[in-house]
Amino acid sequence: MSSRLLLALPYFTVVVLIVLGLAVMLSKRNVIKILMGVCLMESAVNLFLVATGYRHDAVAPIFTNVPAGPMALPTVQALTLTSIVIGVATSAMMLSFAMVIYRKYGTTDIQKIQKLKG
């Protein structure tokens, strides 16, 4: 079991990151900290996608002066690129929501905001 876990170490890192992100998102009450949890899960998904496409002793799929040998899978890398850009867009939106919330309510604690509502 432990040797197989070591073989799949990147996937194990992904699992740890996803669980940490979920724990942060569910247990913290500060909006900024929840946002950090979301970003952690995003990074975990990116790492998972890149790890899926790795081949042993492979080079990056770029033909400019490439040494001979197998190439890593390019499709997952393209999808990771898409995912990173979407992540930047959503992070910007969430951060500006946090700033507007702070300006309107004077706090970033979600439970206090619920009490102040109305």
From 29, 30, 32, 75, residue interacting with another protein (rule: CB under 8 A)? 75
**Least distance from C-beta 77 to another protein, angstroms?**
5
Distance from C-alpha of 72 to C-alpha of 56, rounded to nearest angstrom: 8
Distance from C-alpha of 7 to C-alpha of 55, rounded to nearest angstrom: 13
Helix (H, G, I), strand (E, B) or coil at 99: helix
Residue 14 interacts with another protein (CB under 8 A)? yes
**Least distance from C-beta 106 to another protein, angstroms?**
4
Distance from C-alpha of 71 to C-alpha of 63, rounded to nearest angstrom: 10
**Least distance from C-beta 110 to another protein, angstroms?**
16
From 60, 110, 112, 115, residue interacting with another protein (rule: CB under 8 A)? 60
Length of the chain as a residue count = 118
- Token pair recorded at residue 33: 């900290």
Residue 106 interacts with another protein (CB under 8 A)? yes
**Phi first, then psi: what are they for 79, rounded to 5°?**
-65, -35
Give the bridge partners for 37, in sequence order: none
- Residues of this chain that bind another protein (CB under 8 A): 1, 4-5, 7-12, 14-16, 18-19, 22-23, 26-27, 51-56, 60-68, 71, 73-75, 77-78, 81-82, 84-86, 88-90, 92-93, 95-97, 99-100, 103-106
